[in-house]
Amino acid sequence: MPLQIIDEFLNQQIHAQGNSSVVSPARGQHAAAVVQLGLGDSVVVLHLHQTSRVFKLILRSDKMPIRFVSLEVSVFHPDRKKDVLHQLKRSKIDQAGFELDLNGVLTPLVQLNFNVSQSGNLHLSLTADTRSLNELARNIRIKRHISALSLSNPDRRDNRFDSGYIQHGQLFESLAKAPPLPFTLREQLLFPAVSPRKKNVLGDTIESGNTILVPIMNRRRNVEKNLEKWATAGFDEVLLMDWASETPLASLPVVQQFDNVRVIRVDGPKRYIRTWALNLANRCVRHRKVFKCDSDVEVSSNFLASHDLRPGEFIAGDWRHGRDFNERHLHGDVYYHLDDFDRVNGFDERIINYGQEDTNLTDRMLLAGLHKKVLNYDTLRHQEHDNKLRATNQNVIHPQVNTVYYRYLSNYRPIWSRHLESLFTATVESVTAQEVKFRVADDHTEPEDPEALNAAIELVASWYIKANELAKLSRDEKLAQIWKKSVE
């Protein structure tokens, strides 16, 4: 039976007995969910997104006979799997329910184990504040701190702007307590407001409505498999970014079946530079709300009805919310306002291989003060495939290593913003109703950073290899073990 969720609680994940739904705590105490439990052993898991600050967790069992077996509250650490904050056994939990003070902890994951002798309802409530860190980020002084720290010191080599510290809010808290910076740049905002674009790069008027944007290089089968669902899910426009595919997507019969499908074709590059492709595609969209979707993701017909994207928000996938391992791969999908995308200067074009471009974008959206919500995974399905496919058309060491590598590089250079110029030029070659052709010269190279790369290999290898064994292996042996043992 589906979980019953009060409407005002949106965009978090609660899982119980094979069912799931999406909730979000607002300020103050609210009945976030009523979970129906059957007989026997049950598990309920509650995930909260990174900027949620939770003060109290409250459970009531609606007078049914229920035996709490255990409860665990934990948080994800940027480098470790998770840290356990609270762990309670059956003897410490009242049979009718309990209240647990969490003192404003960020990003909690709560797992409860029960044994039920008679079916009934479990009421879950939270006292939480989902916007406190976003409000800190919007504070003008903190914005100037961020600008000064980024622009005045382009080779920081510290972890102040590490993704984990941004996503978990420690950066905002530390800047709120820091004294004013003595830099002349402190008055300059990193992400100043921008005037909404009225026309795209092709001269088309940008209207209200929704575009689904799918970047592709040589994934023809994904298009043939998924295009009908993308085109009939209620989007005003399906924009396929065809980055130098061997078989032009516009020639596929399935593409020609739908009037709302438009192909942006790029010729010239020999490799897939995903950030360039996505930034060019966003310059071509014709609607103000954009859902960037990977080509191996199915979208249900109720996606738009299930996601109320409001000004000042973005809605993203989050690997922590995957109900199974496969759903972790929805992490890179994101729904945003085009104006907010422009404000943070789109994707970081210095990321020219696989890894971190999606999290890097949402990090900067959080730094700009936008409110993050999490996609409703009931409306999406990632199609499983071999991990090696993620390395095609790119110079990828290993997907996990590349992701950590670019995460470390983001700490070594200025934050990507409108203060930095685009790294490529796209020239229009032809325009038809269904296809626009560009030419892009793939002439950008990036020297490898040995320090960041070695640190990334060490970190990822430590997830799979014991420390005493790790010290004996060469770099190539570590990479071989990562490919062998990783399940990403």
Among 106-115, 339-348, 443-452, 472-481, the range scoring the smallest mean pLDDT is 106-115
Q: What is the pLDDT of residue 96?
A: 67
Q: Band of the pLDDT at 291, cuts 50, 70, 90?
A: very high
Average pLDDT, rounded, for the chain: 81
In this predicted model, what pLDDT tens digit does every residue of 106-152 receive, in sequence order?
Answer: 767 777 777 777 777 777 777 766 667 777 787 877 888 888 888 87
Q: Let me know: does 196 contact 343? Beta carbons within 8 Å.
A: no
Q: What is the pLDDT of residue 17?
A: 47
Output the CA angle 320-323-327, nearest 5 degrees. 75
Per the model's pLDDT, the better-predicted residue between 92 and 306 turns out to be 306
In this predicted model, what pLDDT tens digit does every residue of 213-270 receive, in sequence order?
Answer: 999 999 889 999 999 999 999 999 999 999 999 999 999 999 999 999 999 999 999 8
In this predicted model, what pLDDT tens digit does every residue of 150-208 receive, in sequence order?
Answer: 887 777 777 888 888 888 777 888 888 887 776 666 567 889 888 999 999 999 999 99
Per the model's pLDDT, the better-predicted residue between 325 and 339 turns out to be 339
Strand 66-75 relative to strand 83-89, pairing: antiparallel
Cα atoms in the 13 Å half-sphere on the side-chain side of 196 = 12
**Alpha carbon distance, N-terminus to C-terminus of the chain:** 31
Please name the residue that has the structure tokens 């042996």.
Answer: 477
pLDDT of 458 higher than 60: yes
Please compute the mean of the pLDDT values over residues 399-409 and round it to a whole number. 89
In this predicted model, what pLDDT tens digit does every residue of 49-108 receive, in sequence order?
Answer: 556 677 777 777 766 666 777 788 887 665 556 778 778 776 555 666 777 888 877 767
Please compute the mean of the pLDDT values over residues 2-17 and round it to a whole number. 38
Please compute the mean of the pLDDT values over residues 451-473 and round it to a whole number. 88
pLDDT of 338 higher than 60: yes
The SS3 assignment for 262 reads strand
Q: Please report the domains of the chain, with CATH numbers, ordered by start residue.
A: 4-128 (2.60.120.260), 134-187 (no CATH), 207-384+421-440 (3.90.550.10), 391-415+447-488 (no CATH)
Q: The pTM is what?
A: 0.85
Per the model's pLDDT, the better-predicted residue between 262 and 29 turns out to be 262
Distance set, CA 133 to CA 51, 166, 367 (Å): 6, 10, 10
Please compute the mean of the pLDDT values over residues 384-403 and round it to a whole number. 68
